[in-house]
Amino acid sequence: MRDGTWAKKLRVQICKTAKGGQVLVLKGHRFHREYGRVGRSYWRCTKRVMHGCKATIRIINDEKLKAKKRQEILEKKKIAERARYERIKSDPLKYAKLLEKYKKKYESRKRRGVVKLVKDMTEEELQEARRVWRAKAAAYRKKILKE
């Protein structure tokens, strides 16, 4: 960081850890240095391993700071997944392969007992399942009406 003016504006601090590493502190959140290249350094949230936080920071030319929050990363991932699924659906062979994969997964879950068939349910389990189905159908209809 050359002049550090952007660091002062954003209240960014780079501290040393007990083991001699670097920790970047931004608005109370801690990031460790993932890797660096010429003119760039990449930082990840320290809560990534234990809590799955996907927040990242990228510093370019020691002056620009680009931070991504977990929600932004998840939104980007969701959009990419939808695009991938649309590409698969447009190709009949890939779509058939995907459906076969889903069918095998369902059969595997059925064998392990994760999925319970209606004919194998008790009366109480069936009533509970139908209550859940009704609630989900109502939520879906409500969602469709909003769009």
Per-residue pLDDT tens, the chain, 147 aa: give them. Answer: 444 554 555 567 777 878 888 888 877 778 878 777 777 888 888 887 777 787 888 887 766 666 777 777 788 889 999 999 999 999 999 999 999 999 999 999 999 989 889 999 999 999 999 999 999 999 999 989 987
Query: Do the domain assignments include residue 1?
Result: no
Helix H or strand E encompassing 15? strand 12-16
Residues 71 and 95 both lie in one domain: yes
Residues 77 and 108 both lie in one domain: yes
Helix H or strand E encompassing 77? helix 70-90
State the first-to-last Cα distance of the chain, in angstroms, to the nearest integer. 48
Sign for the CA dihedral angle at 105, 74, 27, 63 comes to positive
Residues 109 and 88 both lie in one domain: yes
Q: Six-digit token pair at 75?
A: 């939104």
Residue 105, domain extent: 67-113
Residues 109 and 129 both lie in one domain: no
Structural domains of the chain, count: 3
